Structure 1
Amino acid sequence: MNFLQELGVLLKKNIREYGMYIALGAIMIIFTILTDGLFFSSRNISNLFNQMGYIAVLAVGMTLVIVIRHIDLSVGFMAGFLGAIAARMLREGMPVIPTILIVIALGTVFGLVNGFWVAKVGLPAFVATLAGMLIFRGALLLFTQSTGTIIVMNDSFNQIGNGFIPDIFHNENVHILTLIIGLAIIGLYIYSEIKTRNNKLRYNFEVLSMRMFILKLLFISAIIFYIFWTLASYNGLSWTFVITLIITFVYHVLTTKTVLGRHIYAVGGNPEAARLSGIDVKKITLFVFGSMGFLTAISGILYTSRLQSATPDAGTLFELDAIAAAYVGGVSAAGGVGKVANSLIGALVMASLINGMNLLGVGISLQYVIRGAVLIAAVVFDIKTRSKVR
């Protein structure tokens, strides 16, 4: 089999995993052409990664919720409400760290309440979280009724959503620390892939041929390096992107290297079989919804910090973008399938769509139509690829 034939077979067999990368590449190329290169400018790429932060964090949590065959519609207005609480506390003089801790604790409790209705009472997640969405929408309006938009004057808090990590090398042209971090991530990626390949070979599992494996390493490494080089050419890594990367890495390790992660996917694959094997399905459900609340609080903090204010309509349609990002990232509507790390790519796809349409001056009404179409396309793709696998 020659190189092109092998590449074609590889793409066909792994279209579910590689489809999102193809979609992202196509979107970026199209917008780069339509904006005469403005889309791929260092400044816009940096802005793009800042914009995707709060959606990416939600998408990580939403991926796990969908993996266990549930949905959470409350995350949008919950994020907006928690952001408004943070803004009010900061305006009243509360220090930044206690404010963040209190908001995260509240978000976790709200998530556990959603999980309680689903796991303990037996309410369908759609109904429980739809009620939560309405409750948090009303709470946000009540909370901002007397003041309207709450302006955040705390510079330290606002740096979370608008600041960049300092460069210890103080180079005027390139942010050296960003490049070092990028190279470290490439090194970790290559090490992880080689270790995974060797483990598969040890147990006689099917692996890529050596030439395709090397091509994959070079291709992904080149993309990572290009992204970090582009960011280093502007202001470097933003704190928002750093937080997003840390959260994605922690949840990736949690879901792939721990017993808890295996239990989450077991529950998603077959809840009854998981229960019979001794897994406490209710506790897993509580954990996943509590985790979703925790990440929703972080998303609300990132969004409020980026805007430097809390508005009465904050959080509108966040749940749509998070769900769409999860599906574009490869999570299955049938449950049990989906990688946390891929939700980052899904969030980047959604953020690229929004960013590109804004650069082209596309009206907000048409943007909603396109985003809805992308969600339908992602679910159709999931159904078709799943039926082919079967």
Structure 2
Amino acid sequence: MNFFNELKTILKKNIRTYGMFIALFVIMFTFSLLTNGVFMSPRNISNLINSMGYIAVLAVGMTLVIVIRHIDLSVGFLAGFLGAVAAILITRTNLPLPLVIVAVLLLGGLVGLVNGILVARLNIPAFVVGLAGMMIFRGALLQVTSRTGTIIVPSRQFNAIGNGFIPDINILPGYHFVTLLVGALAIAAFVLMEIRNRNTKIRYNFEIPSLPIFVAKLLFISFLIGYVTRILAMYNGLSWTVVIVLIVVTIYHFITNRTVLGRYIYAVGGNPEAAALSGIDVNKITYFVFASMSMLAALSGILYTSRLQSATTTAGTLFELDAIAAAYVGGVSAAGGVGKVTGSIIGALVMASLTSGMNLMGVGISYQYMIRGGILVIAVIFDVMTRNRFAGGH
């Protein structure tokens, strides 16, 4: 089989995985042309990536919730409420910042555990639990911000989480050297990991792509990492928001791909009855996924509050819908059992790119909502059309 025929076959077999990358490339290329290159400017790309951080974190958690065939509508206003709790603890107590962050994350995990118990033990539909949570935390947010309407956060350390950038050592004029170094290390780690995975598959006689295809994949993804790193290095470099998102994605990618817990999550999503019969505790998996979701909602609230440098009465509005859209666009199946956390990040990037591009072009907010809704419908149609043929893997 020649190179192009093999490439065509691989793309066809893995259309769920590669479709979102193609969509992202088309969107970015189109907006770059329509805005005369402004869309791909270092400043805009940096702002775009930083602004999607709080949704990307939510999308990671939502991916696992959808994988096990549930939905959580409470996470938007839960993020807003817990962001306000963080602001109150910082402004009205003398607690150290790390302790505030840990306390808010644990509070989020506790809320999620309660949600998981309601869903798994009491068999209340997750949609209803999420809807109730949405109303409860909307009210709680209004209550804690009722005195002033907006809680200004004066802490420079806290605000740096959403607005600060990693420090540089100023070796290369015009570039953020540390960001370039991090990009180079990321490329090296990616290449070594792919070579190791390929050798493992060869050892166990698994089917693998030919060497030219494998090398082409390494070169293409290394180029993408390098290109994005260079653009960021031409502005202020990597932000702390991006670092946090990368850490979250790395942890969840490891959990879902390298641990027994990850295999159990996909088994429960694929067929809960069969998973239970094979000895998997479906309830415990549900507890973990919902607790994890709400803890990530707490982190999302911290990122958002830090970025605004304040807690507001509208914080969290429609966050859950953006997270659900990012997960579906990123390749999660509406039927459960299929989806990657890395895909949800690409989905979040697709939705953020659409918003950024339309803002640069001056598209009205009403049309923006309609277009984003249309993209979501297309993503679900794509899922339904490909599910039977490509539901074999995650």
> Does TM-score exceed 0.5, indicating one fold?
yes
For residues 316 and 222 of structure 2, the distance between their equivalents in structure 1, rounded to whole angstroms, comes to 35
Q: Which amino acid aligns with 1:46?
A: S
For residues 285 and 378 of structure 1, the distance between their equivalents in structure 2, rounded to whole angstroms, comes to 26
In structure 1, the residue matched to 2:40 is 40
**What's the CA shift string for 1:169-228, capped at 9, x where partnerless?**
454311111111111111111111112222222222221111111101100100000000
Gaps of 5+ in 1: none
For residues 314 and 389 of structure 1, the distance between their equivalents in structure 2, rounded to whole angstroms, comes to 38
For residues 250 and 227 of structure 2, the distance between their equivalents in structure 1, rounded to whole angstroms, comes to 20
**What's the CA shift string for 1:358-377, capped at 9, x where partnerless?**
11122222211122112111
Residue 150 of structure 1 aligns to a residue whose secondary structure is strand
In structure 2, the residue matched to 1:310 is 311
For residues 122 and 279 of structure 2, the distance between their equivalents in structure 1, rounded to whole angstroms, comes to 21
For residues 43 and 170 of structure 1, the distance between their equivalents in structure 2, rounded to whole angstroms, comes to 21
Q: Is the 8 A contact 2:16 2:390 kept in 1?
A: no
In structure 1, the residue matched to 2:212 is 211
How far residue 324 of structure 1 moved from its aligned partner, in angstroms, is 1.0
- Distance of aligned partners of 1:238 and 1:259 in 2 relative to their CA distance in 1, 3 Å threshold: same
For residues 197 and 69 of structure 1, the distance between their equivalents in structure 2, rounded to whole angstroms, comes to 32
In structure 1, the residue matched to 2:98 is 97
For residues 66 and 305 of structure 2, the distance between their equivalents in structure 1, rounded to whole angstroms, comes to 26
In structure 1, the residue matched to 2:365 is 364
In structure 2, the residue matched to 1:333 is 334
Residue 121 of structure 1 aligns to a residue whose secondary structure is coil
**What's the CA shift string for 1:14-60, capped at 9, x where partnerless?**
11110000000011011111111011001111111101111110111
How far residue 93 of structure 1 moved from its aligned partner, in angstroms, is 4.0
For residues 34 and 311 of structure 1, the distance between their equivalents in structure 2, rounded to whole angstroms, comes to 35
Q: Which moved more, 1:162-171 or 1:73-82?
A: 162-171
Q: Which amino acid aligns with 1:7?
A: L
Q: How is 1:40-189 mapped onto 2 (pairs within 5 angstroms)?
A: 40-94=40-94, 95-189=96-190
How far residue 229 of structure 1 moved from its aligned partner, in angstroms, is 0.8
In structure 2, the residue matched to 1:350 is 351
Give the share of equivalent positions with the same residue, in percent.
65
Q: Which amino acid aligns with 2:39?
A: F
Q: Which amino acid aligns with 1:217?
A: L
Residue 122 of structure 1 aligns to a residue whose secondary structure is coil
For residues 171 and 150 of structure 1, the distance between their equivalents in structure 2, rounded to whole angstroms, comes to 40
How far residue 6 of structure 1 moved from its aligned partner, in angstroms, is 2.4
Calculate the aligned-residue CA RMSD, in Å. Answer: 1.3
Residue 328 of structure 2 aligns to a residue whose secondary structure is helix
For residues 250 and 308 of structure 2, the distance between their equivalents in structure 1, rounded to whole angstroms, comes to 26
In structure 2, the residue matched to 1:9 is 9
**What's the CA shift string for 1:245-271, capped at 9, x where partnerless?**
001001111111111111111111111
In structure 2, the residue matched to 1:27 is 27
In structure 2, the residue matched to 1:191 is 192
For residues 253 and 135 of structure 1, the distance between their equivalents in structure 2, rounded to whole angstroms, comes to 33
Q: Is the 8 A contact 2:142 2:313 kept in 1?
A: yes
In structure 1, the residue matched to 2:18 is 18
Question: Is 2:394 the counterpart of 1:387?
Answer: no
Residue 310 of structure 1 aligns to a residue whose secondary structure is strand
Q: Which amino acid aligns with 1:224?
A: I
**What's the CA shift string for 1:268-307, capped at 9, x where partnerless?**
1111111111111000000000000111100000001001
Residue 249 of structure 1 aligns to a residue whose secondary structure is helix
How far residue 388 of structure 1 moved from its aligned partner, in angstroms, is 3.1
Q: Which moved more, 1:226-235 or 1:97-106?
A: 97-106
For residues 50 and 368 of structure 1, the distance between their equivalents in structure 2, rounded to whole angstroms, comes to 21
For residues 6 and 268 of structure 2, the distance between their equivalents in structure 1, rounded to whole angstroms, comes to 35
For residues 76 and 219 of structure 1, the distance between their equivalents in structure 2, rounded to whole angstroms, comes to 36
Q: Is the 8 A contact 2:58 2:293 kept in 1?
A: yes
For residues 117 and 366 of structure 2, the distance between their equivalents in structure 1, rounded to whole angstroms, comes to 36
Question: Is 2:298 the counterpart of 1:297?
Answer: yes
For residues 205 and 328 of structure 1, the distance between their equivalents in structure 2, rounded to whole angstroms, comes to 29
Q: Is the 8 A contact 2:63 2:344 kept in 1?
A: yes
How far residue 71 of structure 1 moved from its aligned partner, in angstroms, is 0.6
Q: Which amino acid aligns with 1:331?
A: V
For residues 325 and 237 of structure 1, the distance between their equivalents in structure 2, rounded to whole angstroms, comes to 22
For residues 73 and 23 of structure 1, the distance between their equivalents in structure 2, rounded to whole angstroms, comes to 27
How far residue 3 of structure 1 moved from its aligned partner, in angstroms, is 2.8
For residues 12 and 171 of structure 1, the distance between their equivalents in structure 2, rounded to whole angstroms, comes to 43
For residues 274 and 97 of structure 1, the distance between their equivalents in structure 2, rounded to whole angstroms, comes to 39
Gaps of 5+ in 2: none
For residues 251 and 378 of structure 1, the distance between their equivalents in structure 2, rounded to whole angstroms, comes to 23
